[in-house]
Chains A and B, each alone.
Chain A
Amino acid sequence: MASKNKNVVPGKSDKNEAHYPPKSLSDIKNKEIRKQLYAKMKKEKKKQKIAVKKKKKAEAKLLGDKAPPKAVPKTLESMRIKDETMVNADDEEVIKDESQDEMSSYFNRQSTPKILITSDDRINSKTRKFCKELARIIPNATTMKRRGFDLKKIIPQAVSKDFTDLIVINEDRKIPNGMVVCHLPNGPTAHFKLTSVKLSKEIKGVGEWTSHKPEVILNNFNTRLGHSVGRMFASLFPYDPNFQGRRVMTFHNQRDFIFFRQHRYIFRNSKRVGLHELGPRFTLKLRSLQKGTFDSKYGEYEWVHKRHEMETSRRKFHI
C-alpha cells in the first residue's frame, strides 16, 4: 500500500537505516518507544533549564549589586496595546466630568449606599445562597425575591424607598452566570458576565467575617471606561470604612476580568502582611455599560462589548 511505504526510502538497505537516528520523535512508529524517548527528552530539557538557572543565580550572587536586573517577563498585559482613553490623574476635563456624574453624590458624601439585591425569577439553591452571601458582605444590603416582577417596575419602587443601587443576579443551568448593577436613581447600568462563583463554604480554611464596614481596593481600573465601572463598585460600599475590622474587599482587574476577593489582613511587622481569605470569590467580565437605569431595549449604551469587532487582538483591553 502506497501510504504505508511512504517513509521507506527506496534503494536503502536495512543496515544503513539503523545507523541514522530518526529526524524527529514523531518519525518513530512504535508508540511505546516514542513515549519513552519523549519522556527522556523532556527530562533532559528540564535538567538543562535548571542548570542554566542555577548558573545565573550563582553569577548574580558573585556580582552582588552589579548583577544585571531581573528580566521582566513578557505578558499580554505588559505588552498591552496603547489605549488613548487611559486617564491621567491630573486630567482636568475628566475630573470635572466625574465630579458631576451620577455617582458624584456618593463621593461628595451626600448619599449613603443602600443596596437591593434580587435575582432571576425561579432560582436554585446556589444562586440563592450567593445572593444571601452578597447581602451579608455588602453593608446595608437587603435581598428580595424577584417574584416575577419586571425590573422596570422594581426600579421606581426601589428609588422611592431610597435605594442607591440594585444588583440582579442571573442564573443559568442552576449556576449564577450574570450580574446587573444598576445605580439609582439615574443610572448607569452595568451588565457583567459572572463566572467561577465560590461561596465561602466551598473555600478551604475560610475565616469568619465581622460586621465592620469593609475597605475597598480597586485595582487597574485605569481607562475612562474602567473609571466609570470602578466608581460604580466603590459606590456600593460605605464611604467610611472601619479600619479596626481589617476587612478588605478587592476588585482586581486583569485583562478585563474583574476578580473579587475578600480578606482580613494583619500587619505582622513593618514588612510582612498576613492575609486570611473570607470569601466568597467570583469573577466578572463587563458586557455593557448603559446610560440611565436598566432598559435593555430602548436604553442608550455607553459601551457594548462586541466580540468579533473588539477582540481582534489579544493585547487589547478596555478597562
Chain B
Amino acid sequence: MAASVYSMLVGSETGLLKGIDVNRSTWNNLNSVQCADRSKEILAMCWEGSSQQNLYYGLRNREIHTFDFVNNEEKIGSRIELSGGTGPLKGLSRINDNYITAVESGLVKVWNGKYDVESFEAGDKLCCMVHNTHNENLIAAGGDENDLKIWDLQNLQKPIFMAKNVRNDWLNLRVPVKVLGAQFVPNSQEIVTCTGYHQVRLYDPRTPQRRPVVDMSFDEYPLMAIGICHTQSDQVVVGNTQGKTALLDFRKGRVVHKYKGFAGSVRSIQCHPTMPLVVTCGLDRFVRIHHIVSRELMHKFYLKSRLNCLLLHKNWKCESLDEGIDMTEDDGVNETKVENETMTAEDDLEEDIWNQLEVVTPRGNNYKSKRKDYKDKIKNFMMRNKQW
C-alpha cells in the first residue's frame, strides 16, 4: 500500500484537484489538465470517515467523484450524479457509506448514490451545510435570509435548533441574515457561523437562548470562510472577500491579530488539528500556510487556478515547523518554572488545598485551557495573599 505523500488537497474552479506536499514544497494536479472545464468546478469536498482513504468531491455539473487516496487515482466507475433540487452544490459529507448533499434550493438529502435514505428541506438560498464529525447525526445549514438551523438525522420532523435573528439595530431596523459559513466546535455542541454582513456568531443549543451567545464583527466585507483553531480553544480564523484574514477570540470578543499576504478573497480555511497552523486558499490562486500564533507566513503555493475548497490530510506532519513548536512549548515550560520558583514552602500547603478541590471543566474540555485556568487561580490566590 503506497502511502500518499500529499499533505492537503485543494479543489479549483477549473475542476482540477490539486495535491500539495508541504515538506517537499511541491504540488500536482491529480486529474489530467485536458479535462479541465469550468462546468466541472469543484464546489465541495469531504473525506471518507477518519481513515481518509477516499476523497469525495462534488462538481458544478452535479456529479460526485471519488478519489482513491491510497492508489492516487480517481475511481472513474464510482462517479454518480446528484438529482433533486436546483442550483449548485453547497455541502457534501459522508455518513455510514451514505452521501449527505445540500443544494442551493434547500434540498438536503442522505443517499447511497442511488436511493434516498432521508431528505428534508433546509430553506431556499442555502449557502452552507456542515456535518458534525464528532456527533455524526448533526447537520447544520443556513443561507441568505435563512438563519442557522441544526437537524438531528434520527429525528428529522423538525430542527433541534433554530437560530433567532439578533435584536434590531440602534435605528430599530431589522438586521439582515446571511449565513455564509458554519463550523461545529469540536467536543461541544456549540456552533460558530460567519455571515455576509461581517458578523461572527457563536450559538449554544444547550441554552434556551436561540440568539447567538457571542456576536462579533470583523472588518466591513462579507466573511467567506471560517476555521476553528484546534490548538487554541475559543478562537477562530475568518477570512473575507478582500482577503483580510484574522484570528478572533470569543472570550475576549475581539480580533487577536490579522494575517498578512493575501491578495484576494478567501474561500476556505482549515486549521491543523495538532499544530498551530492555519491553511487558506482563495481567488488569488494561492494556498498560504500561516503560523497561528506568530502570524508568520510559513509556506505559499501558487496553484494556477482559482481555488474553492481545501482539505487537510491526517498524515501531514510539518518538519519545518518542529522548531517553531518546540519554542512555543519551551515558553510554557519556562513559565511554569518561574512560577515554581516563586512558590515557596508555604505555597505547598495551599497547593494541597487546591489539589483537594474539584477541577471545574472549562469550555472546550481542553487540557491546555484547564492548565491555564489552574495557573490563573494560583496567581489570583497569591495576589490576594500579598495584599494581606
- C-alpha gap A301/B221 in the complex (Å): 11
CB-CB nearest in chain B for A101? B38
Summarize A's interface: helix, strand, loop or mixed. Answer: mixed
Q: Is A208 an interface residue (CB 8 A)?
A: no
Q: Using a Cβ–Cβ cut-off of 8 Å, how many residues does chain B contribute to the interface with A?
A: 28
Enumerate chain B residues within 8 angstroms of A300, measured Cβ to Cβ. Answer: 224, 241, 264-265, 283
Least distance between A292 CB and chain B CB atoms (Å): 10
CB-CB nearest in chain A for B266? A300
Instruction: Check A303/B36 contact, CB under 8 A, given A84-B302, A85-B302.
Output: no
CB-CB nearest in chain B for A83? B302
Least distance between B180 CB and chain A CB atoms (Å): 11
Q: What band does the interface of chain A fall in when counting residues whose beta carbon is under 8 Å from B?
A: 20 to 34
Whether the Cβ atoms of A298 and B196 lie closer than 8 Å is: yes
- C-alpha gap A97/B221 in the complex (Å): 27
Q: Is B298 an interface residue (CB 8 A)?
A: no
Enumerate chain B residues within 8 angstroms of A15, measured Cβ to Cβ. Answer: none
Least distance between B59 CB and chain A CB atoms (Å): 14
Enumerate chain A residues within 8 angstroms of B284, measured Cβ to Cβ. Answer: 302-303
Instruction: Check A93/B264 contact, CB under 8 A, given A299-B241, A301-B241, A301-B243.
Output: no
- C-alpha gap A306/B36 in the complex (Å): 31
- Greatest chain A CB density within 10 A among B13, B29, B33, B224 is at B33
CB-CB nearest in chain B for A84? B302
- C-alpha gap A298/B180 in the complex (Å): 12
Q: Is A96 an interface residue (CB 8 A)?
A: yes
Enumerate chain A residues within 8 angstroms of B13, measured Cβ to Cβ. Answer: 97
CB-CB nearest in chain A for B36? A96
Q: Is A224 an interface residue (CB 8 A)?
A: yes
Per-position 1/0 for A83-108, Cβ under 8 A of B: 01100000111101100100000000
Per-position 1/0 for B238-256, Cβ under 8 A of A: 0001110000000000000
- C-alpha gap A302/B306 in the complex (Å): 9
Whether the Cβ atoms of B265 and A97 lie closer than 8 Å is: no
Cβ contact of B304, chosen from A93, A298, A306, cutoff 8 A: A93
Whether the Cβ atoms of B264 and A91 lie closer than 8 Å is: no
- C-alpha gap A301/B224 in the complex (Å): 11
Whether the Cβ atoms of B14 and A97 lie closer than 8 Å is: yes
Enumerate chain B residues within 8 angstroms of A224, measured Cβ to Cβ. Answer: 285, 304
Whether the Cβ atoms of A100 and B38 lie closer than 8 Å is: yes
Enumerate chain B residues within 8 angstroms of A310, measured Cβ to Cβ. Answer: 263
Instruction: Check A302/B302 contact, CB under 8 A, given A92-B33, A97-B14, A100-B37.
Output: no
- C-alpha gap A301/B264 in the complex (Å): 5
- C-alpha gap A42/B96 in the complex (Å): 85
- C-alpha gap A92/B35 in the complex (Å): 11
Per-position 1/0 for A262-302, Cβ under 8 A of B: 00000000000000000000000000000100000111111
Per-position 1/0 for B181-216, Cβ under 8 A of A: 000000000000000100000000000000000000
Q: Is A309 an interface residue (CB 8 A)?
A: yes
Enumerate chain B residues within 8 angstroms of A94, measured Cβ to Cβ. Answer: 304
Q: Is B112 an interface residue (CB 8 A)?
A: no
Whether the Cβ atoms of A302 and B16 lie closer than 8 Å is: no
Q: Is B362 an interface residue (CB 8 A)?
A: no
Whether the Cβ atoms of A93 and B16 lie closer than 8 Å is: yes
Enumerate chain B residues within 8 angstroms of A303, measured Cβ to Cβ. Answer: 263-264, 284
**Cβ contacts A to B, 22 pairs, < 8 Å:** A84-B302, A85-B302, A93-B33, A93-B305, A96-B14, A96-B37, A97-B13, A97-B305, A100-B37, A224-B304, A291-B283, A298-B196, A298-B221, A299-B241, A300-B224, A300-B241, A300-B264, A301-B241, A301-B243, A302-B283, A303-B263, A304-B264
Q: Which 10 pairs of residues, A with B, have the shortest CB-CB distance?
A: A300-B265, A96-B36, A300-B241, A100-B38, A302-B283, A302-B264, A84-B302, A92-B33, A93-B304, A303-B263
Q: A93-B304, A297-B221 are in contact. List 19 more A-B contacts (CB 8 A).
A: A85-B285, A92-B34, A93-B33, A93-B36, A93-B305, A96-B14, A97-B14, A97-B304, A97-B305, A100-B37, A291-B265, A298-B222, A300-B265, A300-B283, A301-B243, A302-B306, A303-B263, A304-B243, A304-B263
Residues in chain B within 8 A of chain A (CB atoms): 13-14, 16, 29, 33-34, 36-38, 196, 221-222, 224, 241-243, 260-261, 263-265, 283-285, 302, 304-306
